[in-house]
């Protein structure tokens, strides 16, 4: 992949992709399957965004400090942080998959 994109360009691309996840989820599937799809799409977009970064040192640092999370890790986080389980946790995973980190977006002037 061509690594010629600034941090801002990559962030705009990633934010756009995150917001489009809902349109790609197969809503005819059970909510757990939708949550798995959302998790996988977000991880795919995060990885692609990082591959597009000019600064690969920064990218490697992000891979350590903010790695992609597995579905199981997200489920555990929803349980521990918010007390959510089952269907409510799955819905929360779907919803959060479409929201980029507002602190990072603000840093780039996108919020």
- CA distance linking residue 96 with residue 98, whole number of Å: 5
Residue 109: other Cβ atoms inside 10 A = 8
In 3D, which of 29, 30, 12, 28 has the Cα closest to residue 20?
12
User: What does 65-110 look like in DSSP terms, one character per residue?
Assistant: HS----HHHHHHHHHHHH---HHHHHHHHHHHHT---HHHHHHTT-
Q: What is the pTM of this model?
A: 0.92
pLDDT in tens, 7-46: 999 999 999 999 999 999 999 999 999 999 999 999 999 9
pLDDT in tens, 32-84: 999 999 999 999 999 999 999 999 999 999 999 999 999 999 999 999 999 99
Cα–Cα–Cα angle for 51, 53, 59, rounded to 5 degrees: 75
């Amino acid at each position: 992949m061509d690594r010629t994109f600034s941090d801002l360009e990559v962030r705009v691309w990633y934010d756009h992709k995150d917001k489009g996840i809902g349109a790609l989820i197969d809503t005819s599937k059970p909510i757990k399957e939708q949550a798995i799809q959302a998790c996988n799409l977000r991880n795919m977009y995060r990885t692609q965004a990082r591959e597009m970064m000019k600064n690969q040192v920064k990218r490697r640092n992000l891979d350590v400090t903010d790695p992609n999370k597995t579905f199981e890790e997200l489920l555990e986080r929803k349980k521990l942080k918010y007390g959510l389980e089952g269907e409510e946790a799955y819905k929360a995973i779907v919803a959060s998959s479409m929201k980029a980190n507002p602190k990072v977006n603000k840093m780039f002037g996108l919020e």
